[in-house]
Amino acid sequence: MDAVDDLVTLLPELILSALVLVVITVDLFLSRPNKWLLTPLTVAGLILAGAALIPVWGTNETVYDGFYVVDDLSLFFKGATIVIGIFSALFAPAYLVSRRLPLGEFNAMLLFALIGMCVLASSSDLITLFVGLELMVMPGYLLTGFHKTDRYSNEGGLKYFLLGSFASAILLFGVAWTYGLTGTTSVVGIAAALEGQMSGALLVAIAFLTVGGTFKIAAVPFHYWTPDAYQGAPTPITGFLSVGPKLGAFALLVRVFAEALAPLRADWLGVFLVLTVLTMTVGNVIALTQVNVKRMLAYSSIAHTGYIMAGLAAYAAAPTRELAQRGIESILFYVLGYGVMNIAAFAVVGMLQRDQSRFGGLNSFAGLASRAPARAAAMTILLLSLTGIPPTVGFFAKLYVLLATVDAGLQWLAVVIVLNAALAAYYYLRVIVTMYMRDAESEPAPIDGSPLGSVALALSVVGVVALGLFPGPILDLLRASAASIF
């Protein structure tokens, strides 16, 4: 296949790259009152990029000498990336503009991160993988510190940057060891070379890859950057950071652990089981003690990471190929569902922060049900979804993970997951209690009611319920996607 044909399969990434340039250029020529036009522009571009995914569905081919793969798995990740991008672009403007933060730069950074996620999802070589990863996390560092005049934003950005660079270095070191041991950086090549192999040196490589990878998904005990970064970042950006880079990092984990290191899965399973249980339990227990909703959602995102990791553990423990595939499917479904519900939940927190002195404390939710019934109802559905109550996407996602773990023979892990879910119910319900069962403060903060945010919120709530009730169509896509790496 020649280079021109290869380009066609890269169309979504190319559209996104062109979009970045367009956004930056247009931004120069728009006067301040017209900056909002950048949002529809970005969203339109994202939809176009999403449409470009459709013709390549089912191609499943490796291009550029094995550096880049366009298989259904990558396309599913890219689709989810674009969905997350659209919601992020819609939720952010009201919050950013009211704080006089530049919208053009935000959109550009967001798009860069999205491109990084797409590259990550498509990488069939550890070098591409690393490039994609850095392209994804660099804008993340910048976005965290996006509120230049805010102390917490700066602190969060700096912490994220320092620890993130450190973890990237560790990951890179793991890549180097793997290359040294196998003589290749190709994912398929590594898998072939590792068949039936195990040595002390390999263990070191796996250890480095595990630490680097689990840092990026914010698994315990590599999660310390998360609460500060999430709390410091402007709230809608936190929404993006809690799902976008997480999706990318799980794409990385799938590529590295479920593809490259697949032959050694019995060896890395144990570590992942420990990390999975630790992550969900520690995340939930700390979230219980939080009185700030933004920080609470940050810790809860750690717990959700744990649930998703259980899917990877199920993959590794599964006795048959079919059941292993179910583990991967559960990761994909959870990442998508979690993406939609968590961005929206953070967005609601952001809407209550119109007054800049607000930090997303629980009391800003008091009496929301009578002040803004529609928003309170939307938040209730999102929180129920995060808890995992049917008929929402959060429930079905959890069910999928449970199904995968029980199928793989990890019944005890399923029990740990549901006990954690019950624990999490306590702090999610506390927000509902505050909204519906407590009276508003004497001088409640104003609520942001921009139409763009409202539409996006309505869309995500509809999505959360619709995907929970009728996940059928997505399931077919999922199965095809997960099948493409086996």
In the complex, the residues that contact another protein under the rule CB under 8 A are 369-370, 373, 384, 389-391, 395, 399, 402-403, 406-407, 411, 414-415, 418-419, 421-422, 425-426, 429-430, 433, 436-437, 470-472, 475-476, 479
Quote the CA–CA distance of 84 and 140 in Å, as a whole number.
14
- Token pair 């945010």 in the structure block, residue: 453
Nearest to another protein of 23, 318 (CB atom): 318
Distance CA 201, CA 276 (A): 24
Nearer to another protein, 86 or 336 (CB): 336
Nearer to another protein, 20 or 402 (CB): 402
Distance CA 22, CA 463 (A): 30
Please report, to the nearest 10 degrees, the dihedral formed by the alpha carbons of residues 367, 373, 375, 379 taken in order.
70
The pair of structure tokens assigned to 72 is 């259904």
Closer to another protein by Cβ: residue 224 or 486: 486
Q: Which of 116, 153, 106 is nearest to 138 (CA)?
A: 116
Minimum gap (Å) between residue 292 Cβ and another protein: 20
Query: Residue 368 and residue 145: Cα distance in Å, rounded?
Result: 30
* Closer residue to another protein, CB minimum distance, 115 or 332: 332
Q: Name the 3-class secondary structure at 62.
A: strand
Report in angstroms how near the CB of residue 267 gets to another protein at its nearest: 26
Q: How would DSSP label each residue in 406-471?
A: HHTT-HHHHHHHHHHHHHHHHHHHHHHHHHHHSPPPSSPPP----HHHHHHHHHHHHHHHHHHH--
Kindly tell me which of 114 and 328 has the beta carbon lying closer to another protein. Answer: 328
Minimal distance in Å, beta carbon 307 to another protein?
Answer: 13
Smallest gap from Cβ 370 to another protein, in A, equals 8
Task: For the CB of residue 362, give the shortest distance to another protein in the complex, in Å.
Answer: 13
Q: Which amino acid is at 291?
A: V
- 5 or 476: CB nearest another protein: 476
- In the chain, the N- to C-terminal Cα span, in Å, equals 23
Which residue, among 281, 276, 274, 283, has the nearest Cα to 302 in the 3D structure?
283
Closer to another protein by Cβ: residue 224 or 470: 470
- Shortest Cβ 251–another protein spacing (Å): 23
The residue assigned the tokens 């959360």 is 464
Distance of closest approach, residue 388 Cβ to another protein, in angstroms: 8
